[in-house]
Amino acid sequence: MSRPNKSKISTSAQPGGGLFQAFSGLEMGGLPSGPEAGEPQPAAQPEAAPSKRGRVVLRRETAHRGGKTVLVIDGFDLALDADFLENLAKRLRSACGCGGCVKERTIELQGDQPARVREKLVAEGFRVAGER
């Protein structure tokens, strides 16, 4: 079975055609115009300081885990809902490159990276106690 012939845009450059000659056959109708070269770009607003979200406790556990190290973060404020904790755990897991889960109101992260976890929690606006 052969494919039906489709109209193709030639990408072969011709002498003197310039760099963008291969794109000259594209239909550009219906696209919004971009900003003009002379227009000033809106100034980026400075990042607001993270809000204070309370104190959490960071501790290292190996008991009942087959000798594997797990960082446990608990003591979250009751005002923080389960969705926030899930999103926070996801951000911490991606920042540390490790696995983990949320059990009840604690976050468990696999591995032994307390400095990196502490740094991320402080950036999120938490005061961190434990595991220096």
- At what angle are helices 82-96 and 114-123 packed, to 10 degrees? 130
* C-alpha separations of 32 from 22, 27, 29, 35, 127 in Å: 22, 13, 9, 10, 47
Residue 81: CA atoms inside 13 Å, Cβ hemisphere, count?
1
- Provide the CATH topology of domain 57-129: Translation Initiation Factor Eif1 (3.30.780)
Task: Please give the average per-residue pLDDT across 63-77, as a whole number.
Answer: 92
**Hey, where are the domains in the chain?**
57-129
Higher pLDDT pick, 46 / 130: 130
β 127-129/55-61 pair status: parallel
Global pTM reads 0.60
Can you name the residues that pair with 72 across neighbouring β-strands?
Answer: 59, 108
Token match 């468990």: residue? 108
Can you name the residues that pair with 103 across neighbouring β-strands?
Answer: 106
Which amino acid makes up residue 72? V
Task: Please give the average per-residue pLDDT across 112-118, as a whole number.
Answer: 93
Among 6-10, 16-20, 45-49, 113-117, name the most confident range.
113-117
How do residues 17-65 score in pLDDT, each as one tens digit? 666 776 777 777 787 877 777 767 666 666 555 568 889 999 999 988 8
